[in-house]
Chains A and B, each alone.
Chain A
């Protein structure tokens, strides 16, 4: 039996790096410190996976040799006029780099999952910037934590115990902090909070604006804003302005509800305003373990965090035009490479309808809904379990994940698969 210490978790954006995993004969037998979801990832998920490369032959997916799947995939991409390369947030930065080179080579559209999650938040950053800090700053200093439109109690299970409520240098744990939860309904997180502010659905922008007004000592002519009594708003504004160090964490409840990027712009502006009174930061609760890294690699190589179109020979970015759902809904891509994601299970109907009409290549450890529609399916090793690679935590701290056990015979790391694919497409294109 072997114990692997300081294992980096590849589930959510918390990227906990203190897990202990026990193995015996290349099998994971137990884990320590992992949350319920991570435990599932390390101990259960790998049992329900795709172990064989598959090719569509006469309407059916049949088992195939790995080289044959790469060959077919390369031909699809080389022949396509405007291929889509989508996913990337559940895999390593090393893989994403190869994906970007491939996208540039084939003149395609490359997008990552932030396009359908925190993309509006990034557009807000492009409007007004972003006042943030690493999670350790919050752990050491914050006396006020606000969770807005997010539910770490269910989705980012160790966020509170590791980062926001843990003992820090200047705060001795939970009792030194005030926790406020703003949401449209009560959640496991709101039950832990000291205050729960129930807001009307779609009222985020109004409430954030009202808070900005209250912080500037402006008077209200109404009794309620977004279903919240003005007295409560004034109380909350005082709480924020009088905190020593405040931290606002927001989720898809803010970025994907009515108002989208404008909600986040209002939240960032509120935090900007608060910095003239005290110290305040904010941070999106990023979902996948490397969605932050995907944004970062996209940006340092192309200048843009997602939705990058290479059809002109240079990177072009115009969300709404070059973003995956919009482009698919208009039926533009004529082939798709899907890496570590499952758009068929998540995208709106018109986008899925058009996706189902074009050749699809799926590179993923699991047999996803998208894989079932695909022409080529290539299984991969699990990042952080069966292969190593770099990922970025939600606050931008990079971590190198480990290989703990050997992957099954036909499941290579996706970096290697992408490299083989890139090499073959280059040959086919004569470059």
Chain B
């Protein structure tokens, strides 16, 4: 099928195109120079044309997402999705069922989404769900920050062996990147305790969180993985957390080579000053200052949206604290030799002082950061807000007026203890395109995504927003509406959303990496694994491995080691 998207105003930051009126041609699933006269015409005049959205951090699939769904029927009752011709039924709100997840992302103009936390032992589950999510391309990040093999190799200084082990596990689980959550803290939680700082030793393992993060960062470079290590640091969610966050970023500064070596995720949750819940304040400016001065770091926001949502993370001790604070129901799920996880429902309220500070932190980081290529828009779905609220976050970034409207309703002391009220910056459409697709595609190392140059995947979003007529600074409601419902969306060159409705359901790819390591090293590590696997796990090594034909539309990326 050939398409030509005619007369739209194109934002394609990776190719230096900033609001130019031009046509985009698509053929055979790819963006091409030109198409035949028989191509179908999509009239995009008076609309903006962007590459399909790329989300690098959204909890859409796997055991903890499903634990949230099981625990919260009340979440589903208020948002039901009726079967309609092409599309399956389901439920929505904070933890949408799989079909609804795919449709809603597509309807928002997003075409690629990564599930950022999967414990390797249960990653078959993650792939089971990813395979059921229609339309979008996807992938998942296996967790390594509390892994026994990783901690043992690193504590013995066996970095090559650790790298070979990580390579094997990425291939075994069909994972895409190295995820680290509360390094060492998960193992500590296996006994009910928690890690206080990045230099706290992990009991029984003779290693500290700092050494785990440094080791994995080095392994990431050795394996030449497309995405930097994706880190949720220790101490998340606590007053004063910004210091540990900066220490974590700083502990890999010497791995800097001009591009990011570490990605700090949902930075809002770890950017607090203060010593307790009464004097908690925003460390957004400190975080932004560090990010601005250190090109080895990238971050995503984890922006708070005021709503009733479901928090879920591999940081189980954090969820336990949230359970103690709220008294809400609590799910905990620890996984042998690997990780932990927790789920607790939570309501963010404008009238709550702490929540208002949290809201300010995310926006402050975004508005004070100078390089949009290292700051990305997320709500850590569903932790800080549901992904369908991205347009609301966009409106806050693009409009001071929209922010002031929220500020007028938050507690006065929250206004005093944050800087947000004094920040005038308003994001441009081009910068929004960087935060939501161009920058995220680049940091994920997806060369065919996030841009509209020749050879890119035919993933395109057209929104009914005319920048010649609309001033996002004042018409923020129109901006919000436009980004919530894309007018047209093409996925791999097929029209999947027409006039804001899903009209075609296609199967998305699953990206994973297959790093190459020297054969001798690989074989000696496999033999070490074989001898230990039965002691560490309650499943056999052969049954742990997920074959490529299991994951549907497989899209491996081969990387070379040193």
Interface residues of A (CB under 8 A from B): 5-6, 8, 17-18, 93, 97, 101, 104, 122, 125-137, 139-141, 162-163, 167, 169-170, 244-245, 272, 275-276, 278-279, 281, 295-297, 299-305, 310, 312-317, 390, 392, 396-400
Contact = CB atoms under 8 A, between A and B. Distances in A.
B557 interface: no
B336 A299 contact: no
B71 A390 contact: no
- By CB atoms of chain B within 10 A, which of A122, A279, A302 has the most? A302
Return the 5 tightest CB-CB contacts between A and B, nearest first. A136-B336, A279-B192, A303-B91, A129-B329, A133-B334
B71 A125 contact: yes
Interface string B192-205: 10000000000010
Contact of A302 (B97, B204, B324, B543): B97
A272 B319 CA distance: 13
A397 B121 contact: yes
A5 B204 CA distance: 33
B122 A397 contact: yes
A398 B122 contact: yes
26 contacts: A5-B542, A101-B88, A104-B83, A125-B70, A127-B329, A130-B331, A131-B330, A132-B333, A132-B334, A133-B332, A133-B335, A134-B121, A134-B334, A134-B335, A134-B336, A140-B190, A167-B535, A245-B191, A272-B323, A279-B190, A302-B97, A312-B82, A313-B82, A315-B97, A397-B122, A398-B128
- By CB atoms of chain A within 10 A, which of B76, B148, B323, B546 has the most? B76
A272 B336 contact: no
Nearest to B540: A6
Nearest to A122: B70
B538 A162 contact: yes
Given A302-B90, A400-B124, A126 B336 contact: no
Contacts of B324: 276
B81 interface: yes
Per DSSP, are chain B's interface residues mostly helix, strand or loop, or mixed? Answer: mixed
B543 A299 contact: no
A151 to B, nearest CB: 21
A300 B204 contact: no
Contacts of A104: 83, 88-89
A134 B542 CA distance: 19
B444 interface: no
Nearest to A166: B538
Contact of A303 (B97, B129, B320, B550): B97
Interface in B320-367: 320, 323-324, 329-337, 343-344
Given A127-B329, A313-B82, A398-B122, 10 more contacts: A126-B70, A128-B330, A169-B536, A272-B330, A281-B332, A303-B73, A303-B91, A303-B97, A314-B89, A390-B124
B80 interface: yes
B376 to A, nearest CB: 26
B98 interface: yes
Given A245-B191, A279-B191, A392-B125, A132 B90 contact: no
Given A128-B329, A302-B91, A163 B69 contact: no
Nearest to A295: B70
Contacts of B129: 300
A275 B535 CA distance: 27
B63 interface: yes
Contacts of B466: none
Contacts of A6: 540, 542-543
Given A137-B190, A170-B204, A314-B89, A300 B337 contact: no
A137 B70 contact: no
A25 B167 CA distance: 39
A78 to B, nearest CB: 16
- By CB atoms of chain A within 10 A, which of B72, B99, B122, B336 has the most? B336
Contacts of B23: none
Nearest to A276: B324
Per DSSP, are chain A's interface residues mostly helix, strand or loop, or mixed? Answer: mixed
Contacts of B190: 137, 140-141, 245, 279
A258 B91 CA distance: 33
Nearest to A271: B332
A304 B536 CA distance: 33
A300 B132 contact: yes
A399 B538 CA distance: 11
A25 to B, nearest CB: 25
B279 interface: no
Given A163-B538, A300-B69, A304-B73, A131 B332 contact: yes
B540 A299 contact: no
Contacts of A396: 63, 122, 125, 333
A300 B71 contact: no
Contact of B538 (A134, A170, A295, A310): A134
A212 to B, nearest CB: 15
B538 A275 contact: no
A303 B72 CA distance: 9
Contacts of B89: 104, 302, 310, 313-315
B155 interface: no
Contacts of B191: 141, 244-245, 279
Contacts of B71: 125-126, 129-130
Contacts of B90: 301-303, 314-315
B537 interface: yes
A305 B69 CA distance: 9
Contacts of A128: 329-330
Contacts of A130: 67, 71, 331-332
Contacts of A315: 76, 80, 89-91, 97
A392 B542 CA distance: 16
Contacts of A297: 128
Contacts of A122: 70
B539 interface: yes
A244 B193 CA distance: 11
Contacts of B76: 303-304, 315, 317
Nearest to B74: A126
Contacts of A314: 80-83, 89-91
B66 interface: yes
Contact of A17 (B83, B333, B543): B543
A137 B91 contact: no
A397 B337 CA distance: 13
A244 B128 CA distance: 35
A26 to B, nearest CB: 22
A132 B542 CA distance: 25
B330 A313 contact: no
Given A169-B536, A313-B89, A317-B73, A300 B66 contact: yes
Contacts of B550: 400
- By CB atoms of chain A within 10 A, which of B73, B80, B343 has the most? B73
A97 B132 contact: yes
Contacts of A279: 190-192
A141 to B, nearest CB: 6
Contacts of A97: 132
